[in-house]
A and B are shown apart, each in its own frame.
Chain A
């Protein structure tokens, strides 16, 4: 019998916001929270590295923010709802951020959604994907 954590980690292409990710990403997510204020958004956009220097981020986290490496930020502990504040600062939508994380082009992602979205079949578990069941 798999533990709940093992079952969650077995879901492909998914990074459940667990205690581990919450701790890893705390300052990255606090940076995103700071962007809830318009004045902070302006300051950030004026000089991104200087603004980021106020937060104790890891080098990897800093790089991921500057490059808008959305999937990278998620892997480094960012939660999508916090990231949406950075997305909003860039005037980007949830659909744009989600599309970027899939590796698909924006056009292909939008077309997939219009056609009914990504199927659950074959996307339930990594183990299922391995065995091709």
Chain B
């Protein structure tokens, strides 16, 4: 029997990946951000999941402007790091789990979630940075990954409510997978940030803190947030936080917060991280 044992929410700021790739994590600008990642790396190494279901958004590297799936899933054996305009990150090829991925496809589509199925998917910083944050810099992919990609670029993005419901359907799908598999689910992106327009640089710590608090104890408040709420209060690109609701929906109603970290700034962004274990 497969089981989701925990969820992890994290930002996926590209500059965090660059800082690791260029060996800058001990520089004054980055030091305290990376110190906060210690506990989560230790936790993940102890938990040792067989698979990570990694929910993220592509930033127009795999998804061109003329084809925009609302939800997509990677069913390949492996996923290569994408060239995002400055060459691919020097990180290992991401290992897939086609058996679990195809099981999810079948279960989710029959359950009413019509995901786009991708044999090939080049993964950008949205996926590779969370792997680096949680696993450091291994030579080979440390864990199998099933990528679930969400459109957060073009309005209308899926609603937070729909993302949460997808998470609930993923929970059901994993529970019906017959291989003994320990799963951790990631929701990535955010937290508050805006990187276009004259309002660039927006950070809303109070809003982010409330989001982290309610993720554990009161996710129903977050499920009710609208597109306007995210874009106005967490910044236009802060709407990535809807992806965290997939992760939360895949967990039990009762969860325990294991650790949390929040740091401003990582480039233009408030970098947040939280680990929730099923109770």
Contacts and interface: CB of A to CB of B under 8 A. Distances in A.
Contacts of A58: none
B267 A94 contact: yes
Interface residues on A, range: 35 or more
Contacts of A117: 192, 201-203, 264-265, 268, 270
A33 B206 CA distance: 36
A125 to B, nearest CB: 7
A8 interface: yes
Interface in A1-49: 4, 7-8, 11-19, 22, 25-26, 29-30, 32-33, 35-38, 41
Nearest to B64: A33
A4 B201 CA distance: 24
B83 A79 contact: no
A11 B235 CA distance: 10
Contacts, number: 166
A11 B232 contact: yes
B83 A38 contact: yes
Contact of B60 (A32, A93, A97, A124): A32
List 5 tightest A-B contacts by C-beta distance, closest first: A88-B85, A117-B203, A13-B199, A13-B198, A85-B85
Given A8-B227, A120-B203, 12 more contacts: A7-B228, A11-B236, A12-B198, A14-B197, A25-B65, A26-B65, A29-B65, A36-B84, A79-B65, A80-B195, A113-B267, A117-B268
